[in-house]
Amino acid sequence: MMSSQVKALFVRVFRNTGYILGGRGFCAVLSLITTAVSARALGLQDYGVLLLINSFVLSCSAGLRFQSWQPLLQYGSSLYRNGDRHPFQMLLRHCMLLDGIGAVAGMGLALLLCEWFGNLLGWGDASSATPFWYMTVILFMNTGGAMGVMRLLDRYELSVLADSGSGLIRLVGSLAGLFWHWSFTSFLVIWYLSTAASFFINYGMCAYLLLRSDSLQNFRIFGVPWVSPIKGIWRFIFSVSINQALARLSSRLTVMIVGAVLGPQSAAIYNVTWQISDGLARPAQMMTPALYPELVALKDKRDWTSIRQVTHRILQVLGVFSAAVLAIVFVLGPWLLHVLLTVPWSGTRTLLLLMTLTAILDLWDVPLEPLLVSLNRAHQILLGRLFTMCVTLPLLYFLTSGLGMTGAGLATLIGELVIFLTRLVPYMLMSRKQGFGRGNG
């Protein structure tokens, strides 16, 4: 039976998940409609090229992005609760600095590689020249510091505004492009403006909260230290950042590998199939950002019993949810894919089944990864990610070359299974030890 503390924790987690889910659900609907509109406005070939360019930009951004919100919660929660204003503000500046460094480095990487990737993936056919200017959109992609402030201050309802605004801009722009027959470059401008709008909304909300919070009074940018001296912070930052960068990079690289092997049209089909499967599993995945601060708080209290109860109960809930997702995708998935991309495709059911199983495995990681990170096991998660990528990306290429889209789906499923096992095995080993969590505080 759950303790009253765990019950209260679940109330907060589900409340904040509800905020995130409402915003993300709205964005998912916008994204699906935008996909249908832009595919019709540009044609499937040019829409696939737009997808490949954006995937390349997102890959460069993800590859060099620091997960600055995680150290803010991992080390800042206790500082905030204890009223240690100056160390907390130094940590916040540290996280904002990480956002800026990652953005500039990501843009530099994109400018360096975009022409080579453009020739490889064939987006020069849709654009008269390599769109170097679009690479600067990476400067507006890093908002981890702002997100960390909103989550730390339990203002999850504000964190969904930016994505909603970005989605609306893309939808309205795509509708205008369909009506007035805008060019491919015009659609790139729409995607650029939507990303910039998301950045300014996020940091606008952050500034609003900074001005209202007592712990952040007299917050300064100039003439103060920007690097926190907290012991172990750099190891933690690099572990979680590289892991998340590789996770995002892997998802983008899969689309790019499919595009390189089978062409832009197949890349679009593969990506939208994943969007359908992952979109239905997304509601439960939204627990992760709401759960992580609660696990950090339990870890700070060394309340291992509550940590076990929370983890086991969430896994039970996910088991029921997974069965429902599988049934829905099996029945409605092929029809939805046909509606979105306007092309019949005989292999939709097999690919959808494989991608849905992948999404379900990713779903079961919801309590495991934040738990291991909160217990300072981020380096173990990183090693598991590196091993998985080294094995599954070459496997994706060979299976896609030999089996087409079904091979791509099978390789994606195998990769997610390996990732899940690298989380589950350490958790099971820790949970069986007497004094679970000892030495991780």
Q: Is the pTM of this model over 0.85?
A: no
Averaged over 397-404, what is the pLDDT?
90
pLDDT attached to residue 434: 47
Assigned domain for 437 exists: no
Assigned domain for 292 exists: yes
pLDDT attached to residue 433: 66
**348-364 and 304-341 helices cross at what angle (nearest 10)?**
160
pLDDT tens for 324-348 read: 777 777 776 666 666 665 555 555 6
Assigned domain for 328 exists: yes
pLDDT attached to residue 196: 95
**85-121 and 144-152 helices cross at what angle (nearest 10)?**
140
pLDDT attached to residue 439: 44
Q: Which two tokens stand for residue 351?
A: 């690919």
Assigned domain for 100 exists: yes
Give the range of the structural domain holding residue 348, as residue numbers without chain letter.
Answer: 4-432
pLDDT attached to residue 94: 92
Region for residue 232 given its phi and psi (left: phi exceeds 0; alpha: psi -120 to 50; beta: otherwise): left
CA–CA gap between residue 219 and residue 227 (Å, rounded): 15
pLDDT above 50 for 277: yes
Range in 62-71, 156-165, 424-433 the model is least confident about: 424-433
Assigned domain for 135 exists: yes
Region for residue 129 given its phi and psi (left: phi exceeds 0; alpha: psi -120 to 50; beta: otherwise): beta
Assigned domain for 80 exists: yes
DSSP 8-65: HHHHHHHHHHHHHHHHHHHHHHHHHHHHHHHHHHH-HHHHHHHHHHHHHHHHHHHHT-
* Number of structural domains in the chain: 1
Averaged over 24-46, what is the pLDDT?
87
Question: What share of the chain has pLDDT > 70, as a percent?
Answer: 90
CA–CA gap between residue 279 and residue 143 (Å, rounded): 23
Assigned domain for 438 exists: no
pLDDT tens for 245-276 read: 788 778 878 888 988 888 887 888 788 777 77
